[in-house]
């Protein structure tokens, strides 16, 4: 009797208390995710702010940060990121455990300059400033000060060199240059007016696809549709399909952080963690929509899932009827 009562006490008091404790810990986790908030609050004594969009430190040189808005920590601004590495007046890398942003090495600049002269300067000018040899405006816009990620995105997604400079919107194509050449071009263009974003590498191991899906519905679906199939926008422009499987995780981050053409730039309003969640959703469930949803059961397929549902459902009902029977 006594043993029974202690057991009842265990179930009635300790179990709910335990569950409550776990729930409380989970809530804490939501409000204090990791150590980022604390780590990001570090002060930088060497920082001299000359102009709101130009940040200078001795080690980092002058970095044009007009591409990142707001003062949100870990949202793409190197000077508000958990980690930053500068050397000899150059910004080398920054970021956190969700995304690392890296500038291509200085040693790439020379090759990039030659390649640019051959493949890009006819439309963007010798100095990438939109000025042609006779001082006239070039077909392509000035592209200095946009950050290495912008150049890498346009070249690696095959949009540049432009197939048809008169088209309303450059389309994604098989890239005509290698990933290395894209980085070389990015290194040279960025050396003319060092800016951010640098080229991102997302770390998606810990990313949350469900959170990413909600953020996608809020921020992206209006143009790309909820399924990511893409849609036409005003004046003959369009938001491309995101289900295209060769859009890499890196390019998804680059698109969000740089805002190509008519796409808005997402900086400040989305943290690197949120960007990683969205990227994980796009390159995961969106590009591979075979999973009908719900608990995947290791992807064994809808028939097996239905069977398991039947087993759990009917099995549960049987147990409940036993229990009711027992009481009466
Ligand atoms: C035939 C002309 C042409 C060539 C060659 C060309 N571009 Fe472009 N580029 C354009 C035009 C036109 C645009 C604007 C397109 C648009 O907005 O859709 C553009 C846009 C860009 C942008 C985006 C600018 C922005 O404001 O976001 C980048 C970056 C770029 N080009 C880099 C390059 C690089 C690097 C090369 C060489 C590999 C190159 N382009 C070759 C015509 C050209
Ligand atoms: C206002 C409309 C709009 C919104 C909102 C928008 N996009 Fe885009 N997106 C575009 C357009 C337009 C392009 C094509 C740009 C170009 O061709 O240069 C694009 C291009 C892209 C690409 C490149 C795909 C390719 O073909 O290489 C990716 C990836 C992308 N968007 C992801 C996103 C994500 C993720 C979000 C939400 C955080 C988002 N977009 C929000 C309009 C939008």
Q: What is the pLDDT of residues 220-229, one digit of tens each?
A: 999 999 999 9
Tell me what the mean pLDDT of segment 164-186 comes to: 93
Confidence of residue 235 (pLDDT cuts 50, 70, 90): confident
- What is the Cα Rg of the chain in Å? 26
Token couple for 34: 């990791």
Q: What is the pLDDT of residue 46?
A: 42
Q: Which of 25, 34, 26, 23 is nearest to 271 (CA)?
A: 34
Torsion 66-68-74-78 (CA) sign: negative
Asked if the model's pLDDT at residue 45 lies above 70, the reply is no
Q: What is the pLDDT of residue 327?
A: 67
Token couple for 151: 């150049």
Q: What is the pLDDT of residue 56?
A: 74
In the reported structure, the alpha carbon of residue 121 is separated from the centroid of ligand 1 by a whole-number distance in angstroms of 10
Look at 128 and 68; give whichever has higher pLDDT.
Answer: 128
In the reported structure, the alpha carbon of residue 256 is separated from the centroid of ligand 2 by a whole-number distance in angstroms of 7
* Cα–Cα distance, 268 to 68 (Å, whole number): 7
Confidence of residue 27 (pLDDT cuts 50, 70, 90): very low
Judged by its nearest atom, the ligand closest to the C-alpha of residue 169 is 1
Look at 291 and 183; give whichever has higher pLDDT.
Answer: 183
Task: Tell me the CA distances in angstroms from 169 to 59, 71, 156, 162, 255, one per residue in order.
Answer: 39, 32, 16, 10, 15
Token couple for 115: 């390649």
* Cα–Cα distance, 324 to 180 (Å, whole number): 69
Length of the chain: 328
* Cα–Cα distance, 73 to 271 (Å, whole number): 7
- 50 by Cβ neighbours in 10 Å (0-12 / 13-18 / 19+) ranks as exposed
In the reported structure, the alpha carbon of residue 50 is separated from the centroid of ligand 2 by a whole-number distance in angstroms of 33
Q: Answer whether 237 contacts ligand 2 (Cβ < 6 A).
A: yes
Q: Which of 100, 197, 193 is nearest to 148 (CA)?
A: 197
Per the CB < 8 A criterion, the answer to whether 93 and 100 are in contact is yes
User: Which residue has a Cα nearest atom 23 of ligand 2?
Assistant: 255
Asked if the model's pLDDT at residue 47 lies above 80, the reply is no
- 223 by Cβ neighbours in 10 Å (0-12 / 13-18 / 19+) ranks as middle
Please state the atom number of ligand 2 nearest to the C-alpha of residue 237.
12
pLDDT tens per residue across span 189-224: 999 999 999 999 999 999 999 999 999 999 999 999
In the reported structure, the alpha carbon of residue 284 is separated from the centroid of ligand 2 by a whole-number distance in angstroms of 17
Confidence of residue 139 (pLDDT cuts 50, 70, 90): very high
* Cα–Cα distance, 267 to 281 (Å, whole number): 19
Confidence of residue 154 (pLDDT cuts 50, 70, 90): very high
In the reported structure, the alpha carbon of residue 140 is separated from the centroid of ligand 1 by a whole-number distance in angstroms of 5
Token couple for 158: 């095959």
Per the CB < 8 A criterion, the answer to whether 62 and 194 are in contact is yes
pLDDT tens per residue across span 54-74: 777 788 999 998 878 778 899
Token couple for 8: 């009842």
The count of C-alpha atoms lying within 13 angstroms of the C-alpha of 122, restricted to the half-sphere facing its C-beta, is 7
Task: Tell me the CA distances in angstroms from 130 to 39, 105, 170, 190, one per residue in order.
Answer: 41, 25, 17, 15
Q: What is the pLDDT of residue 325?
A: 72
Output the average pLDDT for the chain. Answer: 82
- Ligand 1 pocket test target in 116, 119, 124 with most atoms within 8 Å of CB: 124
Ligand 1 surroundings by CB, under 6 angstroms: 119-120, 122-124, 139-141, 143, 146, 150-151, 154-155, 160-162, 165, 169-170, 185, 260-261
Confidence of residue 169 (pLDDT cuts 50, 70, 90): confident
Q: What is the pLDDT of residue 294?
A: 53
- 129 by Cβ neighbours in 10 Å (0-12 / 13-18 / 19+) ranks as middle
* Cα–Cα distance, 62 to 101 (Å, whole number): 17
- Ligand 2 pocket test target in 143, 217, 224 with most atoms within 8 Å of CB: 224
pLDDT tens per residue across span 84-127: 999 999 999 999 999 999 999 999 999 999 999 999 999 999 99
In the reported structure, the alpha carbon of residue 21 is separated from the centroid of ligand 2 by a whole-number distance in angstroms of 42
In the reported structure, the alpha carbon of residue 8 is separated from the centroid of ligand 2 by a whole-number distance in angstroms of 57
Q: Which of 73, 109, 266 is nearest to 194 (CA)?
A: 109
pLDDT tens per residue across span 276-289: 999 999 999 999 97
Please state the atom number of ligand 1 nearest to the C-alpha of residue 189.
35
Angle at 75 between CA 74 and CA 79, to 5 degrees: 60
In the reported structure, the alpha carbon of residue 262 is separated from the centroid of ligand 2 by a whole-number distance in angstroms of 8
Torsion 25-26-31-35 (CA) sign: positive
């Amino acid at each position: 009797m006594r043993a029974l009562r202690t057991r009842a006490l265990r179930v009635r008091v300790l179990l709910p208390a335990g569950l409550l404790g776990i729930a409380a810990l989970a809530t804490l986790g939501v409000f204090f995710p990791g150590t980022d908030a604390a780590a990001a609050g570090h002060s930088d004594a060497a920082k001299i702010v000359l102009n709101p969009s130009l940040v200078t430190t001795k080690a980092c040189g002058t970095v044009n940060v007009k591409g990142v808005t707001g003062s949100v920590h870990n949202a793409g601004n190197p000077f508000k990121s958990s980690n930053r590495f500068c050397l000899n007046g150059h910004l080398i890398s920054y970021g956190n455990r969700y995304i690392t942003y890296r500038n291509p090495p200085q040693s790439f600049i020379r090759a990039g300059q030659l390649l640019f002269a051959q493949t890009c300067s006819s439309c963007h000018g010798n100095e990438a400033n939109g000025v042609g040899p006779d001082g006239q405006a070039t077909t392509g816009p000035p592209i200095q000060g946009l950050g290495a990620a912008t150049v890498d995105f346009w070249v690696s997604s095959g949009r540049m060199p432009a197939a048809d400079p008169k088209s309303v919107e450059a389309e994604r194509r098989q890239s005509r240059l290698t990933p290395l050449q894209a980085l070389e071009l990015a290194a040279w263009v960025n050396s003319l007016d060092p800016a951010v974003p640098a080229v991102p590498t997302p770390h998606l191991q810990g990313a949350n696809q469900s959170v990413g899906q909600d953020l996608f519905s809020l921020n992206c679906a209006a143009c790309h549709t909820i399924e990511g199939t893409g849609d036409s926008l005003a004046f003959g422009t369009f938001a491309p399909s995101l289900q295209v499987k060769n859009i890499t995780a890196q390019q998804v981050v680059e698109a969000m952080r740089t805002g190509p053409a008519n796409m808005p730039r997402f900086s400040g309003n989305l943290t690197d963690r949120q960007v990683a969640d969205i990227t994980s959703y796009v390159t995961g469930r969106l590009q591979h929509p075979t999973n009908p949803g719900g608990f995947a059961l290791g992807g064994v397929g809808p028939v097996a899932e239905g069977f398991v549902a039947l087993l759990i459902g009917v099995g549960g009902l049987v147990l409940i009827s036993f229990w009711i029977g027992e009481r009466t």
